[in-house]
Structures are given as structure tokens and as C-alpha cells.
Chain A
Amino acid sequence: MLRVDLTDSEITEEEISPEKMEKFVGGVGLGSSILREEIEDEVDAFAPENRLIFFTGPFAGTKVPGSGTYSVVTKGPLTEMFGGAQANGWFGARMKFAGYDGIVFHGKASELSYVLVTDEDVQIKTDPELAGKDTYETQEYLKEKLAMPKSSVACIGPAGENEVRFANIASDGGHFASTNGIGAVMGSKNLKAVVVAGDEGVPVANEERFDELAKEWQKEVNETLMGATVSQYGTNGFFSAAAETGWLPVKNLTTDIFEKHPEFNGDSLREKLDLDRTPCHACPLEHCNEVQLKEGRHEGLKTDEPEYEGMAAFGPLIGNDDYTEAIYLNDLNDRLGMDLKEMGFTLSLILECVENGVLDEEDLDGLDLDWGDIDGVEKLMKNIAHREGVGDMLAEGVYRTAKNFGEDALDKAVYTHEGIAPHIHDPRGLWGYLFGQTISNMGSIEGFSPAELVPQPDLGMDEPVEKYKDPYELVEAQGEMAKKYYFVDNLGTCFFTSVDLSLMTEALEALTGMEYSKEEALKQGHRTMTSSRLLNISQGWSKEEDKASERLLEPCPDGPNEGVSIREDIDEMVDYHYRRMGWDEKGHPKKETLKELGLD
């Protein structure tokens, strides 16, 4: 592992003990463990003492599908607690090829800097030309300047430089580690980019067996319809399913009906766009593309194809029904380097507040906004990234913005009490999503998928949990899924290529030579979750954070989930989750739980 002190320009190498590797595996597990050891209680997210930690997992750079993934861990400025995010692509594999499992940054550089990590050398460099460059420009500029086309660059855009509280980190084109303002922390350290490259191989304990299992893994990924849909149509292949079953977010959740969904669905989109495949490391799905618009105001625009959440955030959520404009705004947001979840729900809050007279032109620097006003939204986004005018306030994210505008805005805002926007869904009709987001330790969804949609045979759930029937059954399912996906987050592989736990643990055994059962994997996931909770408690967490905003408790206004609300059930669901995880009624892990998980 590398340690980079940006204040004193000191670079050191450290060994991670085998015991620690076995206990925390990699990714957010190892990252959060190191973060918990090294930051003081209630440290400021923007203080030089905060850590910014990049970690791969054990599979990084191997033949296992989607093994270019890496995690970034820090104290996030939105929740002012643990922030953990993943990005796919190549960066994780190339960091491993450079010879490192992780990099811990601390301190603050005196000038805007970048760090070059290769298998021969590690250097901290400064370059004033980097200031103000967007995320795509930064990646292209550094690759060309260093003459390293086979490198990966993780960088921030103008939003990160300006410490926008929801700035993110871009890498390998349009891949983002996005949640909880990790790019703002990078900006606070005057760190514009990290470049990684190398040729070192990844040691494998049992190569023959590992190759067999990697092939089996590839085959299993290809055989699922999730895989087939993602491969053929991208994640927008599910756009119509979201719209028709009532969990597509429309106009800040004031409705769940969006008639133009067929034009946003992946099959239609890919007919209308020019595509050029840009696959991630070892990925059989190859769903990532550079696309070019063939019609509309921005005809000719080349950009990475937006994922479902990007099309939903800059489409129905802000009242825009033109797919070309959604692609344009997604590209702008990516270039500026901001989390689209926070951006989407901040914009939609403002638009609803304008419609209802809570805000007017005077509050918004003279902008006369309306649903689907692309030019107005574009101006707001640029102002946010540069913290200009009202953009300076909106750059604080949806919760802080609403709080500033008063009770009427707070009632309309979509956030959890940790202070962060949820993923781009209307989760009121899918309680697995809403519950998983409400109890989140790192700002994203615990369990990743909603248990009402996805069966988990490897967890003993051959059928999905029936909606609204038994909230306790949903808590049980979501809790077990959370354990599984914490473990997956630690492996250094992409969610879309995750497979049966038994296959993943067998491959881990063949790779490392260590014994690893499915039960140990789930225990490891539980350990990471509980360790994250301990980290949050040290930063001032209380049970009040495990709540959803008023808008998220309101009944769905229309569509197939009309009238449904989690309000009456959510508190008991949270309490039941605490009991199942071995935490007390305040949400603090019990002593016996810590002992069982080796965290005492």
C-alpha cells in the first residue's frame, strides 16, 4: 500500500498484514478500517487530517469479469460521515499492475497537484495548466502530456476544485466514484488527479483452478437476462420497466407518470445513437459505449453513454422529455464532475419550489425557471460547479439547500436525514430501496438491489419478497443482501458481474490460497457494515440519521403504487434491522457483536 503525505510531499510504502487482508479483504472494507484507525473523532471532512483512500480488491486486474473496479473511501462532506464509492473501468486493474492494492492520501498540497504511480516510480507533480479543466479534458491532457495512452487517470473537475459538496471523481472516461462528495475532499487536498500504469502481473495461488472458475464466472454473467439486457441496451434497457411499474422519479416525485419513457428506453436510444464500445477491464458484457447524437440541438456531441440514473435525473426528474437534452445535461454534469443523484434532486427541488411559489426569480439570480427548462438548468449547473451566485448555496446539496430556504422547501426535498439524496428512483413504491437508503452507512443503498424485485438463491431466497406484504421479511432480505454486497464491494469487481456467492468465494480461494466459505463471506460483509457504523458513531452519528425526509414518507401520488406509504412501518423496520445486526436500540453495535466479528 502507498501512503502519500501531500503536505510534506512524502511517499512511503507500507505492508498490510495478511491477518488484516483476510479480515477486511479489500475495497471499502480495508479502506474504512484504515480510515477508522487514522482519523480523529468528528474531524472536518475538508481538513488536511482527513484521509482519501483508493483501494482495489483481491480480484483487481485478474481474468474475473469486471475486475477493473476500485473503491474510494473518506469522511464525506455531505453526510459528514463515512463516504464510500466505487467506479468501474480500468483504474483498479492498472493500480494493481503498478504494484499497489491501495493508496492513502493525507495532508494538503501547497499547489494544485497530481500523483503519478507506475511500477517504476511514484511522484507528486504540479501543473498550473490543470486548473479549471473538466474531467474529460484532464484525462486527455495528462495522458497526452505523459505519453501514457495505457494509463488510467482518476481526477476531479471544476466542482471538485471548488469543493462543491457533492463533487465526484472521474476515471476511464465517464466512469465515476460519485457518492458523498469524495471529489470535494480530493479538491480540498489540492489533488487534481491520480495517474496509474504498470505491467506487473497479479499472483495467483492456483492458476489452473482460478482460470476454470474465471471462465465459469464469465459464462454465468453472460447467461443472465440482466446481463443480456445490460449488454444489448445498457442500464437504460430497464427504463420502461421503471416507468410502467411506478418507480421512475418524475418532477421531484410529484407524479410517477412519464409518457415519453419509450424514447428513453435503451432499445430505442441505441437505435438513434452512433455507438463505439468502450469495455471495462475483463468485462464480457461490454455495455459501456461512447455515443454520438445524430439529431437535436446538440447533434454531433460525443460523450459516454449515460446510465439509467443519468437519463432519469436529467429527463423525467426535472420535467424534461427530450432524450437528446438529457444526454447533453448528463455530459455537462460529468464534465463538471458532480454526483448526478445530488444534482438531480437539488434541481428538481428548485423547480418544484418555483412552480409552487416558494422561490422566485429574486431567489435565483433572476432566472425564470420551469420544468424542463434546459437553458435555465444548464446555467444553474455551471453556477453550482463554480459556486457563483445562488449556485454557491446549491453546491451544498439538496438537504442544506432546502434547510436554507425554509420549512416549505424541506417538506418537498428528497433526502435521508444523513443529509444526502437517494439514488434516482421513486423508492416509495419499492421499499427495499427506500429502507436500504434510509439505513445506509456510506450514503448509498444497503443491499444494492430492492428485495422485492430480485431473488437471491445463494441467500436462500428463491423468490423476491412480495411488496408491502411483510415489512419484517423485507428487512431480513435486505439485511442479508447488504452483507453480501458489502463483501462484493470489497472484492474489486463490478456489481453487474457479481454472481453466486459460492462461485465468488471458490475463486477467492483459488486466487489467494486461503480458505473462504460463503458463510465467512457473509460474516465479512457484516463486519464491514458494522465497522462502517462504528466509524460513523465516532463522527457523531445518532439514530436520527436513519430516517427519510417527509417527501419520501408521503404516499405515491399516482400510478400503480398510488396511495402506498412506508410511514407507519419504517421506524419498526429500522429497529428490527438493528436487532438482526446485533446492535442495540440506539443503533450501536453490542459488545458481543463486536467480539464475534473481531472488532473488539
Chain B
Amino acid sequence: MGRVKVKVYQPLASEMGREKSGPLEFQVDLHGEMSIEQVLSLHEVGEGLLSLLKTSEWSDNIMIALEGEINYDGLSAKVSAGEEIQFFPLYGGG
């Protein structure tokens, strides 16, 4: 048993109701290794995030990182207790 920290950066955070600057943060308890999708489905805020990420507006434009490492497996990537999942706006360059 352990916890995973989830950080959702702006502007996705404000879409989820955060009215101030800074990321929306929450923690989820988990057993062993789970996928990001499973982790999010265990938390009320996470479920809201999952719904947003299933719309093309957000799914095509979000970068997911695990402990700062860009993740290319999307919501199926595996996470373990003590890790941090980050949702960033996708950077287009410049």
C-alpha cells in the first residue's frame, strides 16, 4: 500500500475547477503497480480528469510525464507507489 501524487497543470487545471494559479494536486492510494487510468479511476477528481482526457480537445494536446520523464504509453503506462504523475499542456516549440 502506498500513494501516487497527481499534478495537473494549467490550463487543464482551471478546466477542472481550479481558480488560482499553480497545478491541481491530489493523491491516490494504490496497491502494487497500476496503470495511470486505473489510478485516476480510484479518485473522484481523477475520474473527472479521465473524462476530459477522453475528449479529443484534451487528449491530443496533453503531455503526460512520470517523475519528469515524458511518457509515451499514455494512460496505460504503469505507476508505482511514491511516484508522481504530471499532466502538462503540450509544448509546440519556440
Q: Which residues of A line the B interface, CB within 8 A?
A: 223-226, 228-229, 232-233, 235, 237-238, 240-242, 244-246, 262, 265-268, 270-271, 307-309, 423, 445, 448-450, 452-455, 463-464, 466-467, 495-496, 559-560
Contact = CB atoms under 8 A, between A and B. Distances in A.
Contacts of B72: 463-464, 466-467
Given A467-B70, A495-B93, A496-B94, A225 B58 contact: yes
A268 B18 CA distance: 13
Nearest to A247: B91
B11 A225 contact: yes
A559 B70 CA distance: 12
B44 interface: no
Interface string B55-83: 00110111101011110100000000000
B22 A244 contact: no
B78 to A, nearest CB: 16
Contacts of B68: 244-246, 559-560
A237 B11 CA distance: 8
A417 B20 CA distance: 45
Given A245-B69, A267-B10, A452-B70, A229 B89 contact: yes
A466 to B, nearest CB: 5
Which of B10, B61, B65 neighbours the largest number of chain A CB atoms within 10 Å of its CB?
B10
Which of B12, B20, B88, B91 neighbours the largest number of chain A CB atoms within 10 Å of its CB?
B91
Contacts of A238: 88-89, 91
Contacts of B57: 223, 225
A160 to B, nearest CB: 23
B17 to A, nearest CB: 14
B40 to A, nearest CB: 18
A560 B58 contact: no
A237 B69 contact: no
Nearest to A242: B91
Given A237-B11, A244-B65, A453 B90 contact: yes
Which of A241, A271, A308 neighbours the largest number of chain B CB atoms within 10 Å of its CB?
A241
Interface of B: 9-12, 14, 20-23, 57-58, 60-63, 65, 67-70, 72, 86, 88-94
A97 B21 CA distance: 41
A240 B92 contact: no
A473 to B, nearest CB: 12
Given A244-B86, A245-B69, A225 B62 contact: yes
Which of B68, B69, B70 neighbours the largest number of chain A CB atoms within 10 Å of its CB?
B70
B93 A233 contact: no
Contact of A241 (B9, B20, B22, B60): B9
Contacts of B61: 224-226, 228
B70 A240 contact: no
Which of A267, A448, A450, A496 neighbours the largest number of chain B CB atoms within 10 Å of its CB?
A267
- The 10 tightest CB contacts between A and B, nearest first, are A225-B61, A449-B93, A560-B68, A241-B88, A267-B21, A229-B89, A226-B92, A267-B10, A268-B21, A238-B91
A262 B22 contact: yes
Given A223-B57, A463-B72, A466-B72, A453 B65 contact: no
Contact of A453 (B14, B69, B70): B70
Contacts of A445: 93
Contacts of B21: 262, 265, 267-268, 270-271
B93 A454 contact: yes
Given A235-B94, A449-B92, 14 more contacts: A225-B57, A226-B89, A226-B92, A228-B11, A229-B89, A242-B91, A244-B65, A245-B63, A265-B9, A265-B10, A268-B22, A454-B91, A454-B92, A496-B92
A394 B89 CA distance: 37
B89 A225 contact: yes
A327 to B, nearest CB: 17
22 contacts: A225-B11, A225-B90, A228-B61, A233-B10, A235-B94, A241-B88, A244-B68, A244-B86, A245-B63, A245-B65, A245-B88, A246-B68, A267-B11, A267-B21, A268-B22, A449-B93, A453-B90, A454-B92, A454-B93, A464-B72, A495-B94, A560-B65
Nearest to A228: B11
B57 to A, nearest CB: 6
Nearest to B23: A240
Contacts of B60: 224-225, 455
A266 B14 CA distance: 13
B52 to A, nearest CB: 11
Contacts of A232: 10-11, 14
A246 B69 CA distance: 8
B63 A308 contact: no
Contact of A454 (B20, B86, B90): B90
A232 B12 CA distance: 11
B13 to A, nearest CB: 8
Contacts of A237: 10-11, 89
A560 B67 contact: yes
Contact of B94 (A224, A240, A308): A308
A559 B68 CA distance: 8
A445 B92 CA distance: 13
Nearest to B57: A223
A238 B91 CA distance: 6
B88 A240 contact: yes
A267 B22 contact: yes
A16 B75 CA distance: 53
A496 B92 CA distance: 8
A463 B73 CA distance: 10
A322 to B, nearest CB: 17
A445 B94 CA distance: 9
Contacts of A495: 92-94
A464 B71 CA distance: 10
Contacts of A266: 10
A202 B18 CA distance: 44
Contacts of A453: 63, 70, 90-93
Which of A240, A307, A448, A464 neighbours the largest number of chain B CB atoms within 10 Å of its CB?
A240
Nearest to B61: A225
